[in-house]
Structure 1
Amino acid sequence: MKRLRKDRRRNPLPFSTVFIISFTIFLVLTVLGLIFVEYGIRPTLMTIAKTETQRIAAQSINDAVSKRIVNELDIDELVLLDKNGKGNLTSIRFDPQIYNRVTAEATTRVQRSLESINEGSIAEFLMTWKMKMRDYSLYPSGYGR
């Protein structure tokens, strides 16, 4: 004998159930997509961040050193020329006191500017640096361009 099969029709799922299932699938796929994109972009962003950090640190160091050496220091104070009895030049050396003072001041300026960058005033630093570099001349006075 044949089994009698009831022909039973199913009703569609209620709207709220369909909505919850759809929303859950959407959230899972969105999170997986964001994770996939983030892992793809991370190496590039890290490279850019590293390059920018090195550039800003170099600018900070150059700014601190150029302020002291270019603007305030007389090179004749820093360099000592030793001559023999005949007046011939035997050696050139730095005056240790002035050299140590300049090095300490430059180090302090670099530390201050890096601390201010770390605190979030990087925009101010870059603006002042660009303005200074626009007016900065690589040639000492007396040389023509």
Structure 2
Amino acid sequence: MFGKRPLTRAPNRYRKIVPIFIIILIVVMLIKGFIWIEENIRPTFLAIAEARAKIIAFDAINEAINERVAQNIMYEDLVLVDKDSDGQITMAQTNTMEINRVQAETVRRVQNTLRRIEGEKVNIPLGQVLGSQILATYGPSIPVTLVPIGTVHVDVSHSFSEAGINQTRHKIYLEVYADVQVVIPFISTSREVKTAVPVADTLYMGDVPDTVVELPFPIKDNSNIQTRGFQSESSNTNSRTSFDEGNSTFNEPGDSDFGQSNFGNQSIDGGEPSIPYFNK
């Protein structure tokens, strides 16, 4: 009479909702993971990849210039110096034809060198991308491919600097500009590589004076200066500008034994010279 109630199964709709909910949850987690990678790991990874690419490009460019171009460049070939009968330099001008030849040779050498690194791969550990010092060398390696793009541009620049009294140092540089493309999984970017290599240097030496005087400029604001004008015979008008009304004296500490030096009484026939006075 009182039998057991038969067990009923859950409706089929609940069994269909659970897998759909799990799939949606997985998709949301994947989207959030990609967003986190895009905001945190991607900038760091790009910075490391670009730094590695620039180092390799710098080494290739410097090798092409130093070993094959700079050794065959002489300063006398790039700059023509004219001298007078006494051997003094009167004019210096650049040799445009030689500079154009050096630029063309540098472009050709650098392009050939960059072609050798085309397709070169650099592996960056994932631990280094995550910024961990302990796991910097561990984890799966992410390959980075270098591809030189565009053309190489070369400019010649000059710099002048003081090297002593009447001495000037002249340096000539080769400035090389090249574009390198960094290719990594799902990301590709290009960066400009710029380097300047000195190729010629000389020192121009002028006449060295027997005496060199260094004046303590600027003059302090509390310095008092008095100037006397010339007095002509036709006019008894004295032009005088005074910043210190009183005796114009010049006293140095420790000169009390010699007294005060009053230059106001000095005179020369034909007028009174203008003499500056410093009163401390």
TM-score by length of structure 2 reads: 0.33
Q: How many equivalent residue pairs?
A: 114
Tell me what 2:262 maps to. none
**Mapped contact 1:64–1:110 kept (Cα < 8 A):** yes
Match of 2:119 in 1: 116
Partner Cα separation in structure 2 for residue 73 and residue 104 of structure 1? 10
* Amino acid in the other structure paired with 2:109: E
Structure 1 CA distance, aligned partners of 2:28 and 2:93? 69
SS in 1 for 2:119: helix
Listed as ranges, the gaps of 5+ residues in structure 2 are 124-142, 146-280
- State the match for 2:231 in structure 1: none
Displacement of 1:84: 0.8
- Structure with max Cα Rg: 2
DSSP-derived class of the 1:11 partner: coil
Matches within 5 A, 1:93-108: 95-108=99-112
**Structure 1 residues 125 and 42: CA distance shift in structure 2, 3 A:** closer
Aligned to 1:12: 9
Distance 1:39 1:29 in 2: 15
Percent same amino acid among aligned pairs?
A: 13
Relative to structure 2, which stretch is displaced further, 75-84 or 17-26? 17-26
Q: Which has the higher contact order (CA 8 A, sep 6+)?
A: 1
Counterpart residue type for residue 37 of structure 1: G
Counterpart Cα distance in 1 of 2:60 and 2:51? 14
Query: What is the CA–CA distance in structure 1 between the aligned matches of 2:105 and 2:113, rounded to whole Å?
Result: 12
Deviation at 1:38, TM superposition (A): 1.4
After superposition, where does 1:36-115 map in structure 2 within 5 Å?
36-75=32-71, 77=73, 79=75, 80-85=78-83, 86=87, 88=89, 90-91=92-93, 95-113=99-117, 115=118
- Quote the offset at 1:29 in angstroms: 0.5
Aligned-pair CA distance for 1:19: 5.9
CA–CA distance in structure 1, aligned partners of residues 40 and 70 of structure 2: 45
Amino acid at match of 1:122: V
Query: Which has the larger share of strand?
Result: 2
Q: 1:76 & 1:105 partners in 2: Cα distance?
A: 13
**Partner amino acid, structure 1, of 2:43:** T
**1:22 to 1:78, Cα distance in 2 relative to 1, 3 A:** farther
Secondary structure at the aligned position of 1:48 is classed as helix
**Structure 1 unaligned runs (5+)?**
1-7, 127-145
State the alpha-carbon separation in 1 of the partners of residues 144 and 41 from structure 2: 22
Give the superposition deviation at 1:98: 2.7
The amino acid of 1:82's aligned partner reads: L
Please state which structure has a larger fraction of its residues in helix.
Answer: 1
2:33 aligned with 1:33, yes or no?
A: no
Do 1:78 and 1:95's aligned partners in 2 also have CA atoms closer than 8 Å?
Answer: no
**Residues 67 and 87 of structure 1, relative CA distance in 2, 3 Å threshold:** farther
TM-score (norm 1): 0.56
8 Å CA contact 1:84–1:90 kept in 2: the answer is yes
